Chain A
Amino acid sequence: MTRVYPWVRADPGLAHEAVGKLNRFAHAWRELLSDVDAALGTSLTDSPGSVAPGPDQPESDEPESDEPGSYIPESGEAPRAAVAESKRRVAPYSASRVAEAIDAVREALADLAAAIDEHAGPATRTTDPARLTTLADADGRCRDRVEHAARLLPTSGLEPWLDPGVTAPGDPGSLARDPERLRVTLAAWAAADIAALLTGYPALADALCEPAMTKPPWGELAAPPAAVDEASSLRHVVAVRAAMAAADPDTVRRAGLLWPRAVAGLDGAPLSVRFEANRLLLRQSLATSVDADRRHEEAEARRRTGGRAARLCHAVRRAWSSRDALAAVWSPAWLSESLSREDARVRVRLVQSLLHQGQGDGRGGPWRPRQVLVFDPRGRGRVAELRGHLDRSTEHVAVIVPGTGTAMRGFHMPAQFAADLVAADPRGGTAALAWMGTDFPQAFANESPLARFAVAGAPRLRDVVEALDVPAGADITVIGHSYGGAMTGAAECLGLRADKVIHLASAGAGPGVRGVADYPEFDPLGRPRWVRRWSLTAPGDPITWARRVDLPGRLGRLSGRLGSLSGRLGRRTRRPGRFAARLPPAATFDLGVDPTSLTGITILDAGIWERDVGRYRAGTPLTGFVGHAGVTHPATTAFRELAEVVMGP
């Protein structure tokens, strides 16, 4: 049966636009290849003279053997040189296949656009069954051609674009299927050679990203501590750092390359090693995304053809998840636990951005990859990214803890905030970490009032700050935005290492916190804490309504037994972390007192929009709902003041 749905909304202009973009893309691609050839003396633009078989024609798995560019080593020639030469001959074929594939898709889309033009018309309101059948057929043909084009692409990860400089040990395809043998084989290699090999053969890197049967060096330290509590995880960070510092740097880097999943999120491991390991994980995540999208399509097809109940559930789920405003109010468990297709696609875009978008460092240095400190796409997803440099010249470090609604699809917000802070330092001495290393509440009606997210995230926040290796003399400012303010307060209760804490449109001072005395004066390692605190909230920000609720505080002000009870519910001991295990049920709604009531806290003014941004005119006060997120925008007084605190003494 012909489905009407896609075509009543199909806009042929979209297809024409995509065809135009593909034209420009193909041109840019050929230009790039030409420039690479000119720079390296390669021959990426040389067409091997192949003719891509049509969708109905069989493809050869070994195209190189019959191509003009195939290479037959002469007798007596060194094997390594022969392999390198043959690799150089592979690349032109790959390059030409990419160009062929793009051309094929461009033609397929152009034909589909023409069919829509002819049979649906600009109004796209046709319900004529014959026309709909024609359109569905055109759609099917387009799909076949696109799928065929995709098969032309060199995505196996076993075809080096350029000679990686090292020869693969044996058959890369066989090694890619056996990660443990690959680890054993590479165990004696220098880390730089392993990195070069994995760059040349990404399939080998993907294999190493699979869960490992073996453990990297340092025994139990390589695995995260069983319990993430008030002190043990912090001691674990210190122990990992000490072990890594004692080890040979080459050994440490090798471990990150061979066990990327174990090392990428290991607090205490050198940051450069973690960045490298996370890039491997990102690439593997992208490689598996196509299969995931297809599984989503199959699941949707099953639901569409299922019973009425299945179709109804599917419709409700789609309706709910596709409306951000609705999902932001109430996030039912069945929605938050299942990743929608749209979410999955947003994650792919994030991964592409993390892999391929450069980052500036405020110092005018060269293009550099983004520095991903944490990447775990499971569940709601976890990401953390460092902007700027962390070295001896670093003067200030900011850690940004975002708020409700933060998920992988919204990670660009804290990441942008971090980038803006780094860029705001004219001396280039500021680094900023955008941290989403725990689950955040997604809806303000049924998740934001709960303290459990702050309690669960607090030790992770404290540990990642400890793991940053902040150079001596540099100060640390932790900025908790919205719900992140409560999480920062909870981390303070566990001995968060910070010189300054900014409660930015903060939901509360931390679960159970009734005053500054609830923050410990020493961290679990016995180091004294000297923290200065600021608070900034735009007038009319709805977050102030949430603060006013302050249920435990209100109970505490009641007399008699109620006061006594609420005191037990709300008051925390000075021993950091214990409250997490002893949190009474009623306290699960306690995000702490209004931060502005904390003794010694400095209140900052949100100010105005200092320049035109979209529909906001310069000079307009930063207020209301917009002010909740607007305080992070560099065009506001609020941001300038934040930057002054971060970069101040």
Chain B
Amino acid sequence: MTIPADRPPPDPRRLADLAARAHELAGAEGIPEAVQALADRWPGATSGTALYGFGAAVSLAIGDLAAALDAAAERDASVGAERVADEGATAGRAACDEDIPGQVPPP
């Protein structure tokens, strides 16, 4: 990462936190959910497809920023970061709870 000469090196933990926020915007709670839900529930409207494409494109663009921040944090990370983010065992659990009845049909 090119840093202006008069600035101290960025804190890798802060960079990692920024990267996590960018990832969240790109995929977890960002435009994909806001816009794609609308597109999915608006069948047949021609704007639905465009909205869907827009949502995916925004996710892609912001995801690239998130990846760039990840890379920057990795490069600068000589100390460990402390952030705990287990989205899998919390947020994802709620989604699965809704699916329990009959989600896996018997053979």
A416 touches B93 (CB 8 A): yes
Cα A360 to Cα B88 with chains together (Å): 7
Give the contacting residue for A356; candidates B10, B23, B68, B89; CB below 8 A: B23
Asked whether A32 and B21 contact (CB < 8 A) given A21-B34, A287-B60, the answer is: yes
A356 touches B88 (CB 8 A): no
CB-defined A-B contacts under 8 Å, sample of 30 = A6-B43, A21-B33, A22-B31, A28-B21, A32-B18, A32-B22, A35-B21, A139-B45, A143-B46, A143-B49, A146-B47, A157-B64, A165-B2, A199-B67, A286-B60, A286-B63, A294-B49, A345-B40, A356-B59, A357-B27, A360-B89, A366-B13, A367-B23, A413-B99, A448-B106, A481-B104, A543-B106, A628-B105, A630-B100, A633-B97
Cα A7 to Cα B45 with chains together (Å): 8
Seed contacts A153-B57, A195-B71; 6 additional CB < 8 Å A-B pairs = A32-B22, A41-B3, A283-B63, A290-B52, A360-B85, A419-B86
Residue A620, interface by CB 8 Å: no
Chain A residue contacts of B52, Cβ below 8 A: 290, 293, 345
Asked whether A625 and B101 contact (CB < 8 A) given A94-B61, A140-B46, the answer is: yes
B107 touches A102 (CB 8 A): no
A150 touches B92 (CB 8 A): no
B6-38 contacts to A (CB < 8 Å): 7, 10-11, 13-28, 30-38
B58 touches A153 (CB 8 A): yes
Query: Lowest 9 A-B CB distances belong to which pairs?
Result: A360-B86, A356-B27, A448-B107, A21-B34, A366-B81, A419-B88, A6-B44, A352-B27, A146-B50
Cα A7 to Cα B43 with chains together (Å): 9
B85 touches A358 (CB 8 A): yes
Give the contacting residue for A420; candidates B15, B48, B53, B89; CB below 8 A: B89
B32 touches A352 (CB 8 A): yes
The interface bits of chain A over 157-181 (1 if a CB of B lies within 8 angstroms of the residue's CB, else 0) are: 1001111110000000000000000
- Which residues of A does B touch, CB under 8 Å? 3, 5-7, 9-11, 14-15, 17-18, 21-22, 25, 28-29, 32, 35-36, 39-41, 84-85, 88, 94, 98, 101-102, 105, 108-109, 112, 139-140, 142-143, 146-147, 149-150, 153-155, 157, 160-165, 195-196, 199-200, 202, 283, 286-287, 289-290, 293-294, 297, 325, 328-329, 342, 345, 348-349, 352-353, 355-362, 364-367, 369-370, 387, 402-406, 410, 412-413, 415-416, 419-420, 422-423, 441, 443-444, 448-449, 481-483, 486, 505, 507, 541-543, 545-546, 591, 613-614, 625-626, 628-630, 633-634
A to B contact number (C-beta, < 8 Å)? 325
Asked whether A162 and B72 contact (CB < 8 A) given A6-B43, A202-B67, A357-B88, the answer is: yes
Asked whether A402 and B104 contact (CB < 8 A) given A18-B34, A355-B27, A412-B95, the answer is: yes
Closest A residue to B98 by beta carbon equals: A614
Min C-beta distance of B51 to chain A, whole Å: 6
Give the contacting residue for B100; candidates A153, A364, A420, A633; CB below 8 A: A633
Cα A389 to Cα B68 with chains together (Å): 24
Min C-beta distance of B78 to chain A, whole Å: 13
Cα A348 to Cα B50 with chains together (Å): 15
Asked whether A297 and B49 contact (CB < 8 A) given A328-B105, A357-B88, the answer is: yes
B67 touches A139 (CB 8 A): no
* B: interface residue count bin: 35 or more
A290 touches B87 (CB 8 A): no
Chain B residue contacts of A364, Cβ below 8 A: 82, 84
Chain A residue contacts of B96, Cβ below 8 A: 412-413, 416, 633
Min C-beta distance of B73 to chain A, whole Å: 9
Closest B residue to A136 by beta carbon equals: B46
Give the contacting residue for A155; candidates B32, B60, B81, B95; CB below 8 A: B60
Closest B residue to A421 by beta carbon equals: B89
Chain B residue contacts of A366, Cβ below 8 A: 13, 16, 80-85
Chain B residue contacts of A412, Cβ below 8 A: 92, 95-96
Asked whether A613 and B97 contact (CB < 8 A) given A199-B67, A542-B106, the answer is: yes
